[in-house]
Structure formats: structure tokens, C-alpha cells
Amino acid sequence: MTTLIVVNNPSRWPLEIPDVQVVSAKAYLTDPEYSKLQGIKVFNLCRYYSYQSLGYYVSLLAEARGHRPLPDIATTMNLRTLSMPRPMANELEEEMQKALAPLKSPEFDLSIYFGRNMANRYEKLALQIFNQFPSPFLRAHFKRDEEGWKMASVTTISLNDVPESHRPFIVESAIQYLARKRHSRPRRSKGRFDVAILFDREEKHSPSDPRAIKRFCDAAYDLGINTEIIDKNDYGRIAEFDGLWIRETTSVNHHTYRFARRAQNLGLVVIDDPRSILRCTNKVYLAELLNRHNLKGPRTLIVHEDNIDEVGRTLGLPCVLKRPDGAFSQGVMKAADEGELRKTIEVMLEESDLLIAQEFVPTEYDWRVGVLDRRALYVCRYHMARQHWQIAKHGEGDTQFGKVDSIPVEEAPPEVVKAAVKAANLIGDGLYGVDIKLVGDEPYIIEVNDNPNLEAGVEDAILKEELWRRLAGVFLRRIEAGPHGAGAA
């Protein structure tokens, strides 16, 4: 298996690690040769992993390409809050008190290189921290108070932060890490059959209306599942439930992602799961993923500061520019000429190192296929808003939507349904809405959405109560399949 070390500037990388290629972050992100590689490990040693930085995109696109990044995106997010399953936290607490007990100072820093520390006495503690936050270089900061030692922070560090004397040990640790096999982590058990619904009645463009929430609750009750609507203030209560259904618009920098991640860490059945949120809410990831699996879509270009001049020549004008994490048709702009194109790109690049540009494919409506548990659930036609090129037209203070037609899955164009299911299955086995434009007989995948709209009388217009029973049934089967499912039933 090929191994890459991705850094900001390879000319400043001083270490010689056998059978490892050092490349720049920009080359890895933009050179098509790297996207063609299969089954490789990627040690992401960029200086920063903050949201939408180069380091962030290295890990994000590595996952889209089927590579194995270290750290992955979930780890970079977990580091922000030191999030971990409770049994793991208890285990770490015990080892921390044991390993640090002999120290006299009130504070202590522990450097961790590929799960190891240079001192044998901290080897187990270093490995436990690495197992929770897998990243090549970490530094954990501890403080002691009257109750004992506390882990104040865990951060990634760059090679510039590593003492010169530690570098031979880093090479040894990297070689050892590359040679070892990974071990799966233990799973947490679950309790009673209760599902929480994260829902904000005040959200302007909520993916479900109150009537839809009630229909799901009724269907769940018929299957023996209790439901409770919770809000962002109930974060500490997640452990009380067996499942979590998120019905707020999701985003990575948002409490919805934190809820999903915590619920998954606690062993709950989660829709939308955090991996689906990460994958679906970033259009750069989706573009790379769909291209890798040869799923047809509008001609697409990942835009960065060095290829702005290529956009118009490659895609033609007008073309569409998309912010990576836009939702409900927001963060999507159409550029009609070169001047407007450059100005729009420059503004959007102030918020993200990468953007998506696509050729403009005008259609009367978009197909939306809802996919649940790897099967088509519903099909709708979302018409463009009146005198607009998108299904939603955002104005000052209000938003106008085009009309929606619901049709039976079996009456929809089979090529549309097939393409949608294939695209959704690349993301996972949750609940997705796949947007497709049909050009002649050719389906063009626009995007795969986590957290798709499910409104009473719209998406359930064909199946009615059966749609909600199917969704509740997925929760039931997955909860029953858990360690205590049979006993709790």
C-alpha cells in the first residue's frame, strides 16, 4: 500500500521515512494523478485542520477518494470538544491518574507520535489518547487540581513544534505504525426503546413540519417506540435514548453535528449519522466522490485560487458556483460573464479554500428521490420557483418555492431511481434526498442531501402512513439488532 505524507511545503520536510512519498497539500488536492490512486494511506501533516482550510480538505477528499487519512475529518472535529464514548473516557481517566501520579508539577504536556511517547511510563496513556483522536502528531495538556489530574486539551501539532531530539523517534514510530494492524474499538450497549427527535419549531426552512413529526411519532408508537421532541438545550440528555432522528438543517459547524456525533459515540441509532452529515454537507466531497465512481453529473470543476481563469473556458458561461456547505439553494450563484464570474469566486474564496463550479443545465424541474436504508422511498418533481432558475428563490424576508409533484416510485423513470440509489449508497445507509436533472434519457446527479425534506402531504403524498412506518421500522430493526435489543423488547 502506498503511503503519502501531505504537508504545506515539502521542501521544508526534513525526515526520511522509508517507502513514504512527501507531497504538498495543493498538489494532493488539485493534481488528478493523486485522485486516481487506490488503497493508499495519507498522513495529513498540514499546519492547520480548521474548517475549510487546506488541511481540512486533504482529509475530506482523501475519504472521498477511498484513501485512508490520518487524521480523518471526524477526528479533527472530535478534537475541538474532546468528544469520546463514556467507557473510553472512564478508562482514560484511570490511566491518566495512574501515569501522572508521581509528577510534582501542576501542569504537564505529553507529546504523542503515531500513538507513542518517548517515555515508557506514558506509553499506555499515549496510546489511549491516540485511539480516541487518531492523528500523527498530538500534544495533550494536563492540569492538576484538588481532585487530581484533568486533560485540559488535546491538539494536533506540526513538525515545527517537535524538538529536534524527538525526530529519530518519530521515524521509528511511523515505521512501527505502518507495520501494525489496526484494532476495532468496543461498542457501547443501549437501553430502552426511545427515540429522540431533534426539532426546532422556529426554524425558517425546517426539513419537516409539525404534522410530519406527529405522523412519525404515531407510526413509531404503533411499533412500540416512544418518541420525544428535544432541542439544542437537551445535549446532556442524549444518553437517555436508543435513537436520534435529526429534523433540523444540518451543518458541520453546528449543534446538529455535535448531537449526531455524541449520539453515535453513545451507541444510539442515528439518522443523520455524523459521517453522512460530513459527506453530504460539503459539495467538494460530493463532487470528488461522484467523479470517482463514474456517476454522471454536470461538468464540474473544483475551484481554488490558482485556477480561476480555467472556470469559464472549461465549463462555459453562464455557470453555477456553489459554496461547499450551502443548503436550501443558498450559497449557490450563477455567473453570466467573466467579470461576474471572477468577482463571485473571489468573494466566495474568502470563506473557503475550495469551491465548486458546474456547467449550467437548465431544466423545468429537478427530480428528488428519497432513499432510506439503501432503497428508494419516494419520488418527487421539484419545479423551479417562478421566474427563477432554482427551486427556491430567496428574497428579502421571504423565500418562494416552486410547486412539488409526488409520484409513485414505480412510475418514475427507472434510470433516475437507479442512479439515485447508487449515489446515496455511496454515502451510507441512512436517509438521503438525491437531486437529479434528466437531460434526454441521461440522469445528471446534482447532489446527495442528508436530512432531506419530509413534509406531511408532500413527500408522503403517495405512501401516506406507510412512509412513516418504514422510517420507524428502520429505527426499530437497528435498535433490536443492538446488544440489548432482544432483551429490551
* Residue 267 banded pLDDT, cuts 50, 70, 90: confident
265 or 144, which is more confident: 144
Range with lowest mean pLDDT among 56-65, 99-108, 119-128, 393-402: 393-402
Q: What is the pLDDT of residue 131?
A: 82
Q: What is the pLDDT of residue 397?
A: 66
pLDDT tens digits, 78-133? 887 776 655 557 788 999 999 999 999 999 999 999 999 999 999 999 988 988 88
* Residue 265 banded pLDDT, cuts 50, 70, 90: confident
233 or 450, which is more confident: 450
Q: Is the separation of the CB atoms in 434 and 380 below 8 Å?
A: no
Range with lowest mean pLDDT among 112-116, 148-152, 175-179, 316-320: 175-179
Average pLDDT over the chain, rounded to an integer: 89
The grid coordinates of residue 136 equal 500523527
Fold of 194-272: Rossmann fold (3.40.50)
17-26: list long-range contacts, CB under 8 Å, 24+ apart: 17/171, 17/174, 17/175, 18/175, 19/178, 20/174, 20/178, 25/54, 25/55, 25/57, 25/58, 26/54, 26/304, 26/306
Domain ranges of the chain: 3-76, 82-167, 194-272, 299-359
Task: Give the mean pLDDT of 454-478.
Answer: 97
Q: What is the pLDDT of residue 81?
A: 74
Output the CA–CA distances (angstroms, integers) from residue 22 to 11, 12, 39, 193, in the order listed. Answer: 9, 11, 17, 50
In CATH terms, 82-167 corresponds, of 3.30.470, 3.30.70, 3.40.50, 1.10.3470, to 3.30.470
Q: Is the pLDDT of residue 185 over 70?
A: no
CATH class for domain 3-76?
alpha beta
Q: What is the pLDDT of residue 487?
A: 42
pLDDT tens digits, 359-378? 999 999 999 999 999 999 99
- The pTM score is 0.76
pLDDT tens digits, 296-337? 999 999 999 999 999 999 999 999 999 888 765 567 899 999
Q: What is the pLDDT of residue 94?
A: 92
Q: What is the pLDDT of residue 488?
A: 43
pLDDT tens digits, 10-52? 999 999 999 899 999 999 999 999 999 987 889 999 998 988 8
Q: Residue 139: CB partners within 8 Å, gap ≥ 6?
A: 109, 110, 111, 112, 154, 155, 156, 157, 161
Output the CA–CA distances (angstroms, integers) from residue 397 to 204, 209, 248, 326, 329, in the order listed. Answer: 11, 20, 20, 18, 15
Q: Is the pLDDT of residue 489 over 50?
A: no
Fold of 299-359: Dna Ligase; domain 1 (3.30.1490)
Q: What is the pLDDT of residue 186?
A: 34
Range with lowest mean pLDDT among 175-189, 241-255, 356-370: 175-189
